Amino acid sequence: IPVDVFDLVIFGGTGDLARRKILPGLYRRFLAGQMPAESRIIGAARGELSEAEYREQVRAAIAEFVPKARQDTAIEGFLSRLQYVAIDATGTNGWAQLKGLMRENVVRAFYFSVAPGLFGDIAQRLSEHGIADAWSRIVVEKPFGRDLASARALNAVLARHFNETQIYRIDHYLGKETVQNLMAVRFANILFEPLWKAEYIDHVQITVAETVGVNGRGAYYDKSGAMRDMVQNHLMQLLCLIAMEPPYHFDPDAVRDEKLKVIRALKPVPPEDIVRGQYGPGKDEPGYLVHAENPASRTESYIALKVQISNWRWQGVPFYLRTGKRLRARASEIAITFKQPPHAIFDDASGWHENVLVIRLQPNEGMNLMVMIKEPGPGGMRLMQVPLDMSFADAIEDAEDVPDAYERLIMDVIRGNQTLFMRGDEVEAAWAWTDPIIEGWEARGDRPQVYDPGSSGPEDALMLMHRDGRRWREIR
Ligand code: NAD
């Protein structure tokens, strides 16, 4: 779908996120013909660089982060759209130059890809220099606050200079193809919605497992931990999309109203439904405490929670959430396990399993519905579980052409579509639920349980499920 002519200013245009995701994503959109000829990308960052030097940096980033097959002679055309302004977010340097570059009647987007401490400064300076007009949108990276008070303060600063319709709080999980596919499967089919409730669903598991540790950014991570870094935002958003009521229309506020209701209906989580872990040292590798440069750290690199939603639809259906670093495999998935049929006509030895809808976010994005069929052959009524594959990779010709989460979300900003961005009240509600959980373990002085690197997490997390007669799905 074509977009309007735009000027995209990337504050932090020389940073890690810009190099790895934003600029390669924009390049792919350019190759796809989605960047109108007059559009420009303006890198704005602290270093004194000439335009030519910036273009060379971006060329190198594309060579590193775009698959070779996608690298094209068209790169010169893309680089010619790039400009650079050396700017100081907290000072005066560069702002007049930036203002001079702005054009009238062109969509203007400002991507705040800088440390969160600078979000307020940049918003204020954009406003002071008269660049924050009705054509302007801002894209705000994570983390959006570290508790309710700081999130409120940040919302208040942004609201001083921009309307809510101009603020795009990014959660790249919402840009994933499969996450959007989840909404299509739920709301465009008659098959699922009648079963989507406590009567037919036994429980839901949401897993985001990473193999990497926190080395390199340990000191930074140590101030947040898995609850703040992953659960309050990413896992919460996934939970909302599964649990929300059907919105009256696929419209930004209709969708976000329904997500907000879910967050507000989350019950407080008692201490016995929380397991926190920290990876220990391995055979040839240091553990979390060394990576965090904090031998006394009580920050969790893993967390598992049993979450309940107090409304009619989900009464008594637990949502088990877990996420952690330095685990066995890199795997993100949502698994919805359905209940048993009301009456079993096949005997116990038949090999019966529950129906499970598995939504895999990475690797190999896709969806599978596990159903029971008869094992073929003359061996009597033996049952077997087979996947009904709903993966988009098979349904479209070239999976390589599926846009990455960031490029899709940036194009949504240009189009002015906020459906996949978090609204201010949503973020605050999520912190309002998160804060007492964190305050609880801090007040109790809880220590996370140590787990082996490369394992599936702490022992106690297994017990969280076992005591309910359930099991985590394998991380693989
Ligand atoms: P980074 O440290 O690699 O880059 C920071 C950028 O900000 C640089 O371009 C630097 O020049 C610029 N900058 C710093 N101080 C400035 C100032 N006073 N004025 C103007 N520019 C200034 O950071 P990053 O990893 O790219 O992260 C950027 C944002 O994105 C952060 O909010 C981070 O939390 C978020 N984020 C990053 C990742 C990631 O994978 N890197 C993932 C998710 C979210």
Confirm or reject: Cβ of 89 under 6 Å from ligand 1: yes
Q: Are strands 302-307 and 319-324 parallel, antiparallel or unpaired?
A: antiparallel
Where is average pLDDT lowest: 31-35, 124-128, 193-197, 362-366? 362-366
- Chain segment 337-386, per-residue pLDDT in tens: 999 999 989 887 788 899 999 999 988 888 999 999 999 998 888 999 99
Which residue out of 14, 93, 114, 169 has the highest number of ligand 1 atoms within 8 Å of its CB and is therefore the one to mutate? 114
When the pLDDT of each residue in the chain is averaged and rounded to a whole number, the result is: 94
Counting from 1 in the atom list of ligand 1, the atom nearest the Cα of 87 is 20
Binding site listing for NADP(+): 12-19, 46, 142
Q: Is the pLDDT of residue 285 over 70?
A: yes
Confirm or reject: Cβ of 235 under 6 Å from ligand 1: no
Long-range contacts of range 267-270, CB-CB < 8 Å, 24 or more positions apart?
Answer: 267/307, 267/308, 267/309, 267/310, 268/433, 268/436, 268/437, 269/305, 269/306, 269/307, 269/437
Q: Tell me what pLDDT residue 132 has.
A: 87
In this structure, the residue with its CA closest to atom 1 of ligand 1 is 15
| Residue 190: pLDDT band with limits 50, 70, 90 | very high
In this structure, the residue with its CA closest to atom 38 of ligand 1 is 17
Q: Give me the phi and psi of 245, to 5 degrees please.
A: -75, 155
Q: Is the pLDDT of residue 50 over 80?
A: yes
Q: Is the pLDDT of residue 400 over 90?
A: no
Q: Tell me what pLDDT residue 232 has.
A: 98
Q: Tell me what pLDDT residue 412 has.
A: 96
pTM (two decimals): 0.95
Confirm or reject: Cβ of 15 under 6 Å from ligand 1: yes
| Over residues 149-173, mean pLDDT | 97
d(CA 152, CA 127): 20
Please tell me which residue in 129, 161, 203, 234 is annotated as part of the active site.
234
| Over residues 310-316, mean pLDDT | 97
In sequence order, what are the residues at sequence separation of 6 or more whose Cβ sits closer than 8 angstroms to the Cβ of residue 415?
A: 1, 3, 4
Q: Is the pLDDT of residue 398 over 80?
A: no
Q: Give the Å distance between the CA of 329 and the centre of ligand 1.
A: 27
Which residue out of 11, 16, 122, 126 has the highest number of ligand 1 atoms within 8 Å of its CB and is therefore the one to mutate? 16
Burial class (CB in 10 A: 0-12, 13-18, 19+), 452: middle
- Chain segment 69-100, per-residue pLDDT in tens: 777 778 999 999 999 999 999 999 999 999 99
- Chain segment 116-150, per-residue pLDDT in tens: 999 999 999 999 999 988 889 999 999 999 999 99
Q: Tell me what pLDDT residue 73 has.
A: 77
State yes or no: is 353 an active-site residue.
no
| Over residues 246-261, mean pLDDT | 97
Q: Tell me what pLDDT residue 6 has.
A: 96
ipTM of predicted assembly, 2 dp: 0.98
Q: Give the Å distance between the CA of 43 and the centre of ligand 1.
A: 12
